[in-house]
Amino acid sequence: MSINQEFHRYLTDGIDVQVKLDDGSVGTQKIKIIDSLTIGNNHFLAVNQLTITRGNHQRRPDVILYINGLPLVVIELKNLIDENATIKNAYNQIQTYKSQVEQLFYTNALCIISDGLEAKMGTITSSIDRYMSWKSVDGITTGSHVRQLENMVFGSLNPKVLVDLILNYTIFHTDGEKIIKIL
């Protein structure tokens, strides 16, 4: 969590890098990882079934969304026609990834779980009861309760909305020694 929190600070505040100035001296310039002003300047990529290895563990999340080469969203989808596939199973799969391929979550901004009907979003510290549905595709009209996955994908994963969520609607709370990420 401390790595994730520090990385989030880089996302929101930028990174200081040394640059050579016009007069030949060396100075510092703040570089933003994500361009929140011109969304089209960012590169968005969805990768399906990428195998991640750590030690003896190999895990294959259903979808990882990358922004500018960084894995920021992990999506776990269960099969709608499988009667044993539940939103809880999708949540548990995310927990397995966190414990077995933890490096995937160093830069993680949010997680999405779905059983084909329900679709919910949370953070790497969210308990299953803190994962929430996305209610609208356009931010104005409440979408269909039956089409939660569609609402989630076309609403929250719209590049402008996703960048806004990551940069402006994510906070960290410290409860004793435990860091909690809230979206």
**How far is 54 from 70, CA to CA, in rounded Å?**
18
pLDDT at 68: 97
Tokens of 128: 């299953």
Residues of the chain whose pLDDT is less than 50? none
Q: Could you report the per-residue pLDDT of 55-86, keeping only the tens digit for each?
A: 999 999 999 999 999 999 999 999 888 888 89
**How far is 73 from 55, CA to CA, in rounded Å?**
23
CB 144 within 8 A of CB 151: yes
pLDDT at 114: 94
pLDDT at 128: 96
Q: Give the right CATH number for 2-182 from 3.20.20.220, 3.40.50.720, 3.90.1570.50, 3.90.1150.10.
A: 3.90.1570.50
Strand boundaries in 49-144, DSSP class E: 52-54, 57-59, 63-67, 70-77, 110-114, 119-122
Rounded to an integer, what is the distance from CA 159 to the centroid of its chain? 12
pLDDT at 145: 65
pLDDT at 146: 64
Domain ranges of the chain: 2-182
Q: How far is CA 169 from CA 7, 9, 77, 120, 165, in A?
A: 15, 13, 24, 16, 5
pTM of structure = 0.91
Q: How far is CA 140 from CA 80, 119, 143, 178, in A?
A: 28, 19, 9, 36
pLDDT at 108: 98
Q: Could you report the per-residue pLDDT of 78-108, keeping only the tens digit for each?
A: 988 888 889 999 999 999 999 999 999 999 9
pLDDT at 70: 97
- 3-state SS, 127-165, equals CHHHCECCCECCCCCECCCCCHHHHHHHHHCCHHHHHHH
